[in-house]
Amino acid sequence: MECTVDWGGPSGMLFTASTGSGHVTVMDGAVDGGGHDLAPRPMEMVLVGTGGCTAYDVVLILKRGRHVVTGCSVKLDAERADTDPKVFTKIHFTFTVTGRNLPREAVERAVALSHEKYCSASAMLEKTAELTFSVDIVEAP
């Protein structure tokens, strides 16, 4: 796996990332940090990646269990250290999983398996942050 991150130049803090899989994304800083607030902050991208990693796992685990999943979202609420390096110290994951006749036990098991076994991103973040989880299940029409 690889990526390249290029700075946009001396008039700000915009960075363009090109991934080894051929995709592009951008990051920027806050105005008070020399940025122009044009894109997510790099640490927000860490949260985005973690949310994507775990949501992917949860959907895949439920589908492999032959459950009817029609939606999945995860909201991450994070706290950071006050001093540098400002690592994440607490992250709460709120999963909202939509489907038909989804057993709570199956959804909670999928969330647990993601964080205990499969999600590389949360495995790294748990080195500095306390990770907590909650699950909401919505019955699909």
**In this predicted model, what pLDDT tens digit does every residue of 68-122 receive, in sequence order?**
999 999 999 999 999 999 999 999 999 999 999 999 999 999 999 999 999 999 9
CA dihedral for 5, 41, 29, 127, sign (positive or negative): negative
> What is residue 92's predicted lDDT score, i.e. its pLDDT?
98
> What is residue 83's predicted lDDT score, i.e. its pLDDT?
97
> What is residue 82's predicted lDDT score, i.e. its pLDDT?
98
> What is residue 16's predicted lDDT score, i.e. its pLDDT?
97
Strand ranges for 2-129 from DSSP E: 3-7, 15-19, 24-27, 68-80, 88-100
Q: Are strands 130-139 and 88-100 parallel, antiparallel or unpaired?
A: parallel
Q: Are 99 and 71 in contact (CB under 8 A)?
A: yes
Tell whether pTM > 0.85: yes
CATH superfamily of 42-139: K homology (KH) domain (3.30.300.20)
Phi and psi at residue 16, to the nearest 5°:
-110, 125
